[in-house]
């Protein structure tokens, strides 16, 4: 097992009354500059309020964000002075936080995350997803933030679709752990018991509570689940605890139709099928997936860009060293099981009298 400590704190704050200096003292930060990276929508409003709470330090707010490696290089060139004297603060959703996290890591600067929406597990993970010079999205290793500042009032303003996406990302852990177990069994991955427990616990946290950020119980479970997922990846040293075949298929779909679908919505939609491939009797995700309205018949999202076999081939190529359930079956077998799964999911839905789920991905 990889021995490590957690360089991570979670604080519940109110941005409007935030004592920024006190936060820096608690975290042992001695910096003279604060570089705030944010978006151009309402996240910028939150960023400007936060910037106004900084005392005695030079503050710059950067809001023209496009989530690319090229932009990181541009920001790095514009940084003045010693990187250890600047604190990077990301204020926004997944794309903003990924760029801020990557930028801080490559600069060697401390980093704080202030999410305005939580649509994936990126607020605490060591992974940043950015668009490269080849125009493809790719994962990059970073370090988690020193702290994540949670303002519940801010998060409650986020669109419902962001909440659904975040839950979808957490639910995908169930499939990812099964793929991890399979890879360990075949000698293709290294186990980490604590990371596995944290990933599975994240899923259990969001099952059985109404998906509503205004519900106290669910809000706490949801935040804990997101943090557990991120830390599971950190202590395992890779994304294995939270990324398996469901992520590979989702990435293949996104490459075929870039920018069309939110990451969490896709992986959450595909996860029940991957779980089915491992264990047809495991239907633990089905009820919440229906409640969220996720489209498990994911081939309907692909359009004419791929048939089933070409999509599976593309998924296997995404990360060639990531051994998953896709590697132990032929495309014909996988397609046969896919149709069986969709049929069983639909039949179960009709038997229990559920309303047809709305297309959360459209």
Contact 8, 124 (CB under 8 A): yes
Q: What is the pLDDT of residue 64?
A: 79
User: How do residues 118-177 score in pLDDT, each as one tens digit?
Assistant: 887 778 778 888 888 877 777 888 888 999 999 999 999 888 888 999 999 999 999 999
Cβ within 8 Å of residue 219, ≥6 positions away: 152, 213
- CA dihedral sign of residues 69, 74, 78, 81: positive
Is CATH 3.10.20.30 correct for 9-155?
A: no
Each residue's pLDDT tens digit in the chain (362 positions)?
344 445 568 899 999 999 999 999 999 999 999 999 999 888 999 999 999 999 999 999 998 778 778 877 877 777 776 777 999 999 998 889 989 999 999 889 999 999 999 887 778 778 888 888 877 777 888 888 999 999 999 999 888 888 999 999 999 999 999 999 999 999 999 999 999 999 999 999 999 878 888 888 999 999 999 989 988 998 998 999 999 999 999 999 988 887 788 889 999 999 999 999 999 999 999 999 999 999 899 999 887 778 999 999 999 999 888 999 999 999 999 999 999 999 999 986 655 544 433 333 33
Contact 242, 210 (CB under 8 A): no
Residue linked to tokens 């990889």: 2
295-331 in b/e burial notation, b at 16+ Cβ within 10 A? bbebbebbeeebebeebbebbbebbeebbbbbeeeeb
> What are the boundaries of each domain within the chain?
9-155, 160-351
Q: What is the pLDDT of residue 350?
A: 57
Cβ within 8 Å of residue 205, ≥6 positions away: 170, 221, 222, 224, 225, 228
Question: What angle (nearest 5°) sits at the alpha carbon of residue 221, between those of residues 232 and 246?
Answer: 50
Q: What is the pLDDT of residue 360?
A: 38
Helix H or strand E encompassing 232: helix 216-236
Beta bridge partners, 36, equal 61, 89
CA 202/CA 167 separation, integer angstroms: 10
Task: Domain 160-351: give its CATH code.
Answer: 1.20.1090.10
- CA dihedral sign of residues 150, 225, 216, 218: positive
The two domains 9-155 and 160-351 share their CATH topology (first three levels equal): no
- Global pTM? 0.86
Q: What is the pLDDT of residue 6?
A: 55
Residue linked to tokens 């503050």: 59
Residues in the chain: 362
Q: What is the pLDDT of residue 55?
A: 92
| End-to-end CA separation in angstroms for the chain | 42
């Amino acid at each position: 097992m990889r021995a490590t400590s957690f360089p991570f704190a979670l604080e519940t704050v109110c941005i409007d009354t935030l004592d920024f200096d006190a936060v820096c003292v608690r975290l042992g930060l001695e910096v003279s500059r604060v570089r705030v990276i944010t978006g151009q929508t309402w996240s910028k409003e939150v960023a400007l309020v936060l910037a106004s709470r900084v005392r005695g330090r030079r503050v710059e707010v950067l809001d023209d964000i496009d989530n690319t490696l090229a932009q990181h290089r541009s920001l790095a060139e514009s940084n003045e002075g010693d990187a250890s004297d600047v604190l990077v603060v990301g204020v926004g959703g997944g794309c903003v936080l990924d760029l801020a996290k990557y930028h801080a890591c490559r600069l060697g600067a401390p980093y704080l995350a202030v999410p305005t929406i939580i649509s994936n597990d990126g607020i605490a993970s060591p992974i940043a997803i950015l668009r490269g010079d080849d125009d493809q999205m790719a994962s990059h290793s970073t370090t988690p933030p020193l702290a994540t500042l949670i303002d519940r009032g801010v998060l409650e303003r986020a669109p419902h679709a962001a909440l659904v996406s975040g839950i979808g990302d957490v639910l995908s852990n169930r499939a990812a752990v099964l793929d991890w177990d399979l890879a360990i069994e075949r000698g293709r991955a290294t186990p980490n018991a604590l990371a596995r427990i944290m990933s599975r616990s994240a899923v259990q946290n969001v099952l059985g509570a109404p998906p509503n950020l205004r519900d106290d119980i669910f809000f706490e479970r949801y935040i804990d689940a997101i943090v557990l997922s991120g830390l599971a990846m950190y202590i395992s040293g890779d994304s294995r605890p939270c990324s398996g075949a469901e992520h590979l298929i989702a990435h293949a779909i996104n490459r075929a139709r870039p920018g069309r679908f939110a990451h969490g919505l896709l992986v959450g939609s595909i996860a029940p099928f991957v779980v089915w491939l491992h264990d047809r009797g495991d239907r633990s995700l089905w009820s919440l997936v229906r409640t969220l309205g996720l489209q498990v018949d994911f081939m309907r999202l692909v359009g004419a860009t791929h048939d089933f076999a070409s999509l599976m081939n593309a998924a296997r190529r995404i990360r060639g060293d990531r051994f998953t359930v896709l590697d132990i079956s032929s495309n014909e077998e996988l397609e046969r099981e896919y149709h069986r799964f969709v049929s069983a999911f639909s039949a179960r839905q009709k038997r229990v009298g559920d309303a047809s789920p709305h297309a959360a991905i459209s």
